[in-house]
């Protein structure tokens, strides 16, 4: 299993374009366990301004400053 780069609570931003979500700050709410080494780790993220969570791959997010 690939090691996660981010931890629960870390602030992140999307690196892929999702409309206005691209400028929104998110927090990691859950690490998604992976079952294959050839796939990047995944996360559940949530913005303070949204009621729902999103699932993203590690290569779709970056640290937020």
pLDDT at 57 over 90: yes
Q: Is this structure's pTM higher than 0.75?
A: yes
**What would you measure as the largest C-alpha separation in the chain, in angstroms?**
33
> Alpha helix (H) ranges present in the chain?
none
Q: Is the dihedral of CA 40, 41, 42, 45 positive or negative?
A: negative
* pLDDT, position 39: 80
* Mean pLDDT over each residue of the chain, to the nearest integer: 87
* Residue extents of the structural domains in the chain: 11-63
What does the alpha-carbon distance between residue 39 and residue 46 come to, in Å, rounded to a whole number? 22
Q: Give 40's pLDDT tier (boundaries 50, 70, 90).
A: confident
pLDDT at 54 over 90: yes
Residue 42's CB is within 10 A of a number of other CB atoms, namely: 20
**Tokens read off for 47:** 């913005």
């Amino acid at each position: 299993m690939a090691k996660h780069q981010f931890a629960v609570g870390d602030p992140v931003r999307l690196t892929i374009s999702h409309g206005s979500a691209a400028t929104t700050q998110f927090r990691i709410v859950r690490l998604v366990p992976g079952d294959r080494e050839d796939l990047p780790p995944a996360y559940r993220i949530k913005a303070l301004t949204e009621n729902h969570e999103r699932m993203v791959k590690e290569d779709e997010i970056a640290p937020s400053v």
